[in-house]
A and B are shown apart, each in its own frame.
Chain A
């Protein structure tokens, strides 16, 4: 029976794969269904900065030709979208910043190149906090994105567009980037699966740099299986990124399944402290009990430096950003201020007019921390604390196989509620930053609702042990129905 194409955006990658392989639907039909759906809902969600309709239909036609020739593959013909800091040759890539408006990269990021090789279809580029700095998407130079579960709340950030697009069925999957929680926190707030791989697992060639010792690209999907499929494709060594590691990439999807008997789940005291909303704590505790009912054994563990990770991050990430963002000078690409009598004046004006307030704030913090006389007190000190944080995780992973904790201390908060106080916004990432500092992988899985808004469970594993992390997340997901709930927005669209 021929499926109703209007419902295609509800399919997971695995479900769409089956329809495409059985030739019950073509990639062009699926792509058109997504484009129509984006047209219907994105006026309210505003996840997309740019919909690349012509590119998408062209790539879909190419995918259909490959399918007709008997080829298959996890993402062949599957429509997806990218956070607007992943370079796409000839397609505007802004990083959510005025300073890069109109910039068309001369090459593809390796992640995009790998997805294209696999036949994925690019629907467009997604909104984000400027230069990935933020936890609400409100720092974008190009307008705000709304959370599909409640349009008066934020989608989280900095990959807010990537999370909202998947929640609103505006792409079968998306890619985002995570420096201190920018995949996991918006995934939690939008009720989708989001993966931050181990530092070095995925090539960052063509990812516009924020903090180079932390940045990683990861997928957003509606199911854990879909994240496993996408991660297997984008992971692996890339000679163009010397920080990508030359380790073989497992077939993550085929490693899913089985029960959790014998698995030790660490529950760190420090992740259930003051500041965690009761509705979040309740849902996460219930999820841990669910893991126990699946055969896992919960173990109480301690990560005493957790409370210091945020401070460590707000030295290291801005320091690296102040260095990385020195390249935006109005000479080689992007915005140039028409003011300025000489070159220095042009730099000063270009950067003041081109960057938004949060980016300037971070450049200032980083420049201060790296400046003469302060380096030892700030950057070096933070790097030493980073050693402590990493050593604590190493010790805890002698007592357990996976750590379970909340992803975000709160559900989605109201638009505008934290913009006046940078520190209150920074606290949104207090539970995602520690694994980032240690470079280890973590995933967000939907684990319930509080006040009608999604709550996320964070599962954290040892470096390069994504397979265990995905297996546990998958077992949990299969035993619950949270991932099957649909945002009210979709019900009203379907009913209209």
Chain B
């Protein structure tokens, strides 16, 4: 099953991947092959089978609501590509600089 280039571009925009035209073309064929393979699951009747999200029986793990020290701001910002004061600095969200 082949995806259209529009479908590939739509998925890429959902995933926030700015693919080049060449990448879109390659992925069109490759995703088609992979989805063709995974579609063999349709051979199996799973009508009455519950889904498994978690293979071990651990449920509802909660932590005690106790305050404990957090990382210092400088440590958390140390890997940031850009910072301003105690904040991560990014490009403008709404298309203009403040």
Contact = CB atoms under 8 A, between A and B. Distances in A.
A126 to B, nearest CB: 21
A142 interface: no
Nearest to B39: A311
A357 B22 CA distance: 12
Interface string B1-26: 00100001001101111111001001
Contacts of A343: 90-93
Contacts of A173: none
A382 interface: yes
B86 interface: no
Contacts of A104: 78-79
Contacts of B37: 310-311, 314, 423
A347 B54 CA distance: 31
A352 B17 contact: yes
A383 B31 CA distance: 20
Contacts of A367: 11, 14-15
Given A331-B90, A336-B81, A364-B12, A348 B17 contact: yes
Contacts of A346: 90-91
Instruction: Give the interface size bracket for B toward A.
Output: 35 or more
Contacts of B39: 311
A180 to B, nearest CB: 14
Given A106-B71, A314-B37, A364-B15, A330 B56 contact: no
Interface string B26-58: 110011011101111111101001111111101
B68 to A, nearest CB: 11
Interface in A324-374: 326, 329-336, 340-349, 351-352, 355, 357, 360-361, 363-365, 367-368, 371
Given A243-B58, A371-B14, A333 B23 contact: no
Contacts of A342: 91-95
Interface string A302-326: 0001001011101100000010001
A103 interface: yes
Contacts of B35: 365, 368
B27 A361 contact: yes
Contact of B41 (A311, A371, A422): A311
Nearest to B55: A439
A475 interface: no
B10 to A, nearest CB: 8
Contact of A360 (B17, B34, B91, B92): B17
A200 B58 CA distance: 9
Interface of A: 102-104, 106-107, 198-200, 213, 239, 242-243, 245, 305, 308, 310-312, 314-315, 322, 326, 329-336, 340-349, 351-352, 355, 357, 360-361, 363-365, 367-368, 371, 378, 380-388, 390, 422-423, 426, 437-439, 463
Given A312-B38, A348-B18, 7 more contacts: A242-B61, A336-B82, A351-B15, A352-B18, A357-B26, A364-B31, A439-B55
